[in-house]
Structure formats: structure tokens, C-alpha cells
A and B are shown apart, each in its own frame.
Chain A
Amino acid sequence: MYLIRLYIAGQTPKSLNAVSMIRNFLKSKFPDQSRLEIIDLLKNPELAEMDNVFATPTAVRLRPLPVRRVLGDFSDMQKVLDAFDLNQ
């Protein structure tokens, strides 16, 4: 199981792009074996403490271990895959 928790700031166009990017990479790399949890910090800011998140967008890979946090520009699929070491 590949589990990512994605922290975003509201339903802005860039937030929705980040959601779409992560969802697409999970579908392409781990069909039927992945889960994406989305946390909107405008609605639930206290949840940032859960994964020690300090900025949006941040994607936290919870499974497989070790936990890895990725932040920044999620517009390029290849760079997102690189950040998770999945670009082989």
C-alpha cells in the first residue's frame, strides 16, 4: 500500500492541480494499491501538527516507510516522481 497525505491551502486552482498530479501518479504507479488523503488547512489547520507540516502544498508519504515529506512546485510529473524516488 502506498499512502500519501496531501496538505493544501483551500480549493484554489494550484491546490487542485497538486491534487490531480498526486492522484495521477498514484494511479499510474500503484493502481489499486494506493490511497490519497487530502487535508485542507484552511478548514483544518490544527491537523498540520500531525505530520509537522509548515507549508503548503506538502505531500507526506506515510507508507511505505520511511516517512517522506515533499513540498514545492507540483506542476511537473517527472519532478514529483523524482522527489519520491519513483522515476525508474
Chain B
Amino acid sequence: MSDRILVIDDEASVRKAIMLALEDEPVQVDAVENGEAGIEMAGRHKYRMIFLDLKMPGLNGVETLRSLRRIDADLPVYIITAFYGEFLEQLSAAEEEGLNFELLRKPIGGDQIRMIISGVSQGPFSY
């Protein structure tokens, strides 16, 4: 299993929060600010999982997810979003296309990031 995690988010504070949360973990974090850069990174490296912002300038989260799925259909991708209908409606197209994705609620905490990585890497995490 790869030790690399990819973060795609236009907000520097979110990228920094995830990198800080994982600075003592045995993983390498790559963080980019838009979908185009994320797709390029995903094509160049093998990742354990990806954290992907839903609302970004340029390619949005759904468009980015569609391209990521052409590279790897099964890689865990957590879409970072507020849990409100107006945001989540955008994901219905991805659902209808059968694209796999999971949800991660904003704002994100460091403990939550570490729990998700543990749950994906080592099997279900209980708390």
C-alpha cells in the first residue's frame, strides 16, 4: 500500500490543516490547490487515498473525481464538503455514473483525518 496521501483543495488553510494533522504519521502528503494539478499528480504517483474539495475554481470536485476515476476506479476518495443539500446535490451526477466516493464534513479536525486514514489503511476504526 502506498504511503502517499493527496490533498486537492483551493483553501490553503485546509491543505495546511491536513498536512499538520499528518506530520507525525508515516505518510507523505502531497497538497495541490486545484483539480488540474491533482489529476496530474494522481497520474504520476500511486496514492493510498485522496482528499478532494467539492467547490473549487476551475475543475470542481465532481469533474476532478471523474478524471481521477479514469486513472484509478477504486482508490478511496473523500470529498470534503459541508453537509448541506445545496452542496451535496452536485454529487448526484457522480452517483448516477457509478463513481465511488465518500464524504468528509467541513470543518475538518486533525483527529478525524487520522481516524479516516487508519480506517482505510488498517480496516474499520471504532470510536
CB-CB contacts below 8 Å: B80-127 with A: 83-85, 88, 91-92, 94-95, 98-105, 109, 112, 115-116, 118-120, 122-127
Which B residues fall within an 8 A CB radius of A? Answer: 76, 78-79, 83-85, 88, 91-92, 94-95, 98-105, 109, 112, 115-116, 118-120, 122-127
A55 CA to B102 CA, complexed, in Å? 7
- Known A-B contacts A48-B83, A48-B105, A55-B116; A70 and B91 likewise in contact (beta carbons under 8 Å): no
Q: What distance in Å separates the Cβ of A70 from its nearest Cβ neighbour in chain B?
A: 5
Interchain residue pairs with CB less than 8 A apart (20): A9-B101, A12-B100, A13-B100, A41-B103, A42-B92, A45-B84, A45-B85, A48-B105, A49-B83, A53-B105, A56-B102, A70-B126, A71-B127, A72-B115, A72-B123, A73-B119, A73-B124, A76-B123, A79-B124, A80-B124
Judged by DSSP, the binding face of B is mixed
A10 CA to B100 CA, complexed, in Å? 9
* Contact status B115-A71, CB under 8 Å: yes
* Contact status A13-B98, CB under 8 Å: yes
Which A residues fall within an 8 A CB radius of B? Answer: 9-14, 41-42, 45-46, 48-49, 53-57, 59, 68-74, 76, 79-80, 82-84
Q: Which residue of chain B has its CB nearest to the CB of A9?
A: B103
| Residues of B with C-beta under 8 A to A57 | 102
* Contact status A11-B102, CB under 8 Å: no
* Contact status B104-A55, CB under 8 Å: yes
| Residues of B with C-beta under 8 A to A10 | 91-92, 94-95, 101
Q: What distance in Å separates the Cβ of A82 from its nearest Cβ neighbour in chain B?
A: 7
A56 CA to B109 CA, complexed, in Å? 15
Q: Which residue of chain A has its CB nearest to the CB of B106?
A: A54
Q: Which residue of chain B has its CB nearest to the CB of A84?
A: B126
| Residues of B with C-beta under 8 A to A14 | 100, 102
* Contact status A72-B124, CB under 8 Å: yes
Q: What distance in Å separates the Cβ of A66 from its nearest Cβ neighbour in chain B?
A: 11
